[in-house]
Structure 1
């Protein structure tokens, strides 16, 4: 399950999607590349990788983090406080 938050959700036009990436998608970077290729909205939302964060099963992940058996992928902007 892919979960999208804040402006990522607005740009993609959905708050979640149930997707099964192909076996070639092994890392977070691979996943973002695969998602960006799905539609122009996905491409626009994921174009600036410095402006998004990813969590796998509620744990923050880096670009080189293996996807493994993650059941939930959350994509969101950096969290800021005030």
Structure 2
């Protein structure tokens, strides 16, 4: 079963598979998530999920147990 991933503020939605890396999902959707270290320690890829929690997209995959996921991209001016 796929998960509908909605990227804000771009208002782009794409289908993804559970376990698929979020950076791959964003790239397929044509959405840019800035990255730095690719290990999660620099926080350049930090995004907000619908519950208001922040995650690091470079080390996060599409979670199981949901049919929809909203990701709010925000830009860190230092990157």
TM-score calculated relative to the size of structure 2: 0.50
Residue 63 (structure 2) pairs with residue 64 (structure 1): no
Question: Runs of at least 4 residues of structure 1 off by over 3 A?
Answer: 50-53
TM-superposed deviation, 1:48 = 4.1
TM-aligned CA distance change 1:47 to 1:60, over 3 Å:
closer
Residue 26 (structure 2) pairs with residue 32 (structure 1): yes
Aligned length: 61
Structure 1 unaligned spans of 5+: 5-13, 37-41
Structure whose residues are more often strand by fraction: 2
TM-superposed deviation, 1:65 = 1.0
- What does the per-residue CA deviation read over 1:26-72, in whole Å, with 9 as the maximum and x for residues that have no partner? 12222222123xxxxx4xxx274346532222221111212213521
TM-score calculated relative to the size of structure 1: 0.49
Query: RMSD in angstroms over aligned alpha carbons?
Result: 3.0
